[in-house]
Each structure stands twice: as structure tokens, then as C-alpha cells.
Amino acid sequence: MSGLPDTTSAKPRRGAAPRYAVLTASLVMVAIAVFFFEDEEPAPGEEVYAGVEDIAAGTRHGPFPSSDASRFDAGTPAVRVYVRVQDAPLSERIAATVERSGRASAFAALFGGSGVRVEEAGEGQLSVSEDGASGVVSFIVRAADGGPLPEGGYRVEVRFGSGGDGGAGRVAARKYFAIGDPQD
């Protein structure tokens, strides 16, 4: 007889495998969240199409900013986006949407949405002729909770469309800007 214990017939300890599986699954979920929610910021800039002469962003209220900004400091409460239209069709509405990329917690990204919204900035300064509407309209990008805008890259997309298409009309302009330090 040997003094060594017989390990060939021993049953595995209960509960050990599920604990490791839970730990492994948790680590995989964190890695996926970091990979998917740390988007690459778009390069600041703009795109304009037929019916739009210019698009600009700034933090001050006015008819049209004297200089266009593409980067704003962390803690900025709101960014105003101005769109100068020329002979825009009178039968089409102008609508804007905003998307934000950058770091977000997995919880916020899964349950809290983007945390930003676009609001109309009041009456536009438009004149109407037989060729269409011309002038300036503006939109305000704000944090949904009323606080400062979260850091990251932003894309504001302006569309022309009918009232019944739910904002899915043709793209008229895009404005890209960033909030915060570019090194983050």
C-alpha cells in the first residue's frame, strides 16, 4: 500500500468551474465594451451639398459666426451650428441630428443613449423668393441632462426632406467638431 492519496476517483469540487466561467465572461464583456465604445473621432471639418452654402459652429449667439470652430474646450455647455442656405426648396423641411463618438462607460452606452440632442435655435433668418428660401438657420447641440457636453467627436447632419419622411430626406450638410483635449 502506498501512502499517497488516490486522486483518480475523486469528484471535482462543486462551484469552482462556474466561478471561473463567470469571471472569464465578465472579462470578455469588459474587453468588448472597451473595443466597441472607444470610437475613433471623425476629423473636424464639414461637408456641404446642393442648397447649402456654408455650415459653421460656435458657442455665441449671433447671425452667423465670424470664425468657424472645430474644437471646443471640455465643459462647453452647448454648441450652436449655423447653416447658410441658398435657394432651398420651399416644399422641404430642414432637420438636424447629432451623433457622438468617444469614450463612454459600457453601462452608459448600453442604457443611457448618446446623451446629446439637437434643438432648434428659434426662428431662422430666411427670405423667400420664387427660387426658394435663402438665409441662415441654426441648431443647438446640448447634453440631454442639461450639463456640459461630453468629450468626444461630434457629427451634426442636416437634411432636407418632407414632413412625412421622419427626417430621412437627402443630406444637405455635415459638420464635424470635437469637445475636449485631442490627446485624450
Could you list the mean pLDDT of each consecutive 10-residue stretch along the chain, which spans 184 residues? 59 54 47 43 74 90 84 92 88 86 54 72 79 89 91 91 67 92 58
Q: 169 burial class (0-12, 13-18, 19+ CB within 10 angstroms)? A: middle
What is the model's pTM? 0.68
Which residue has 443630406 as its cell numbers? 171
Gyration radius of the chain's alpha carbons = 26
| Spacing of C-alpha 42 from chain mean position | 10
Query: How much is the pLDDT for 17?
Result: 54
Is residue 54 within 8 Å of residue 124, measured between CB atoms?
A: no
What letter does residue 13 receive in the DSSP assignment? Answer: P
Burial code of 131-157, b = ≥16 C-beta within 10 A, e = fewer?
ebbbbbbbbbbbbeeeebbbbbbbbbb
pLDDT of residue 154: 92
How much is the pLDDT for 83? 92
Domains of the chain by start residue, with CATH: 45-179 (2.60.40)
- List, in order, residues 6 or more apart from 74 with CB less than 8 Å away: 148, 151, 179, 180, 181
pLDDT computed for residue 38 by the predictor: 45
